[in-house]
């Protein structure tokens, strides 16, 4: 859905709604979430979920929206509309593309964190599927079903935990909790590593990144978004490779150990 611009300066004193109010009411019939704000030239901008980041980003870079500008968020919850006014800066904090305009380095670091978190979970699930594919086909089938369920639009996140419930019902508690624990651990390892990589990219390309004209200077950005995550990542991965992983292999074995044992005549 495209963005809409209507006059924010139309005033009426006869009790009738002005054009801005009428436009807002029209959007309430079209979608369940949208935002409105006024540009420096007196135009009201109304944007939906599909385009608000691109539209607001364009106006911020063109200096038509300032950091203290009021943004009104309209959301429909349980059939009731809620209006939440906030500043543009506070609103941008919740959305990565807009936050990156005010905090280029930290914004890239947070983006890297989320990508790293997803990569860590994916790596953990792949490792578990390979291991249980050799040792317990039922567990591996449930894990594949859980991964496949996440790809289903809208309901994927809701039904993905169900295969873990099946593991519990069939008595595979160790496999269920072990897989979940490994996913959490790898999510943390991947997240902090991704944060260090994203922060390093933002720091290296800081001069080439888009930045809001009225964005304040980032304080200790290199320290908080690059150095500390890098040090933390190195320490955690070292602990994993030299302490946790050898202990896990000793307790439950590894796919390579299982394969060598069962491939011998």
Domain end call among 74, 98, 122: 98
139 and 175 together in one domain: yes
Residue 41 CA to its chain's centroid (Å): 33
d(C-alpha 30, C-alpha 253), whole Å = 56
31 and 51 together in one domain: yes
93 and 121 together in one domain: no
pLDDT at 18: 47
Domain end call among 38, 72, 98: 98
Secondary structure (H, E, C), 63-84: CCCCCCCEEEEEEEECCEEEEE
Q: How many residues would you count in the chain?
A: 265
pLDDT at 191: 94
Is the distance from CB of 182 to CB of 120 less than 8 angstroms? no
67 and 163 together in one domain: no
167 and 201 together in one domain: yes
d(C-alpha 158, C-alpha 149), whole Å = 9
11 and 28 together in one domain: yes
249 and 173 together in one domain: yes
| pLDDT tens for each residue of the chain, 265 residues long | 344 443 333 333 444 444 455 577 788 888 889 998 888 877 888 888 888 999 899 989 988 888 888 999 999 888 888 888 999 989 998 888 888 888 888 888 999 999 999 999 999 999 888 888 888 888 888 888 888 888 887 777 788 778 777 777 777 777 788 888 888 999 999 999 999 999 999 888 877 878 888 887 777 888 888 899 999 999 999 988 888 878 777 666 655 555 555 545 5
112 and 186 together in one domain: yes
What are residue 214's phi and psi, to 5 degrees? -105, 20
82 and 152 together in one domain: no
Domain that holds residue 203: 103-263
d(C-alpha 228, C-alpha 226), whole Å = 6
What angle do the packed helices 255-263 and 104-135 form, to 10 degrees?
Answer: 20
DSSP notation for 31-71: -SEEEEEE-TTSEEEEEETTTHHHHHHHHHHTTSS-TT-EE
94 and 107 together in one domain: no
d(C-alpha 24, C-alpha 32), whole Å = 12
93 and 148 together in one domain: no
In the three-class reduction of DSSP (H, G, I as helix; E, B as strand; rest coil), residue 194 is classed as helix
d(C-alpha 198, C-alpha 109), whole Å = 4
pTM of the model: 0.71
Strand partners, 76: 81
Domain end call among 98, 115, 149: 98
pLDDT at 244: 80
32 and 151 together in one domain: no
Long-range contact set of residues 98-101: C-beta below 8 Å, sequence gap at least 24: 98/53, 98/56, 98/57, 98/60, 100/209, 100/210, 101/57, 101/60, 101/61, 101/210, 101/211, 101/212, 101/215
* 227 class by beta-carbon count within 10 Å (0-12 exposed, 13-18 middle, 19+ buried): middle
For the chain, the domain total comes to: 2
């Amino acid at each position: 859905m495209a963005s809409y611009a209507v006059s924010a300066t139309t005033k009426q004193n006869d009790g009738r709604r002005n054009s801005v109010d009428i436009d807002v009411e029209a959007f309430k019939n079209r979608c369940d979430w949208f935002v409105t704000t006024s540009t420096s030239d007196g135009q009201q901008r109304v944007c939906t979920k599909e385009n608000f980041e691109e539209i607001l980003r364009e106006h911020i870079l063109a200096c038509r929206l300032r950091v203290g500008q009021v943004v009104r968020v309209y959301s429909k919850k349980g059939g009731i509309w809620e209006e939440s006014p906030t500043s543009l800066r506070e609103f941008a904090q919740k959305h990565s593309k807009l936050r990156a305009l005010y905090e280029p380095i930290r914004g890239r670091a947070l983006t890297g964190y989320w990508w790293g978190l997803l990569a860590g979970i994916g790596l953990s699930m792949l490792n578990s599927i390979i291991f249980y594919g050799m040792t317990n086909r039922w567990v591996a089938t449930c894990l594949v079903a859980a991964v496949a369920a996440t790809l289903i639009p809208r309901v994927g996140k809701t039904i993905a935990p169900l295969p873990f419930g099946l593991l519990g019902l069939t008595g595979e508690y160790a496999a269920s909790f072990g897989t979940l624990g490994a996913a959490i651990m790898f999510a943390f390892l991947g997240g902090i590593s991704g944060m260090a990589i994203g922060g390093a990219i933002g720091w290296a390309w800081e001069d080439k990144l888009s930045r809001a004209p009225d964005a304040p200077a980032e304080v200790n950005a290199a320290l908080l978004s690059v150095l500390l995550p890098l040090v933390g990542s190195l320490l955690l991965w070292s602990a994993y490779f030299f302490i946790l992983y050898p202990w896990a292999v000793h307790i439950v074995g590894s796919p390579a150990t299982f394969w060598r044992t069962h491939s011998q005549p």
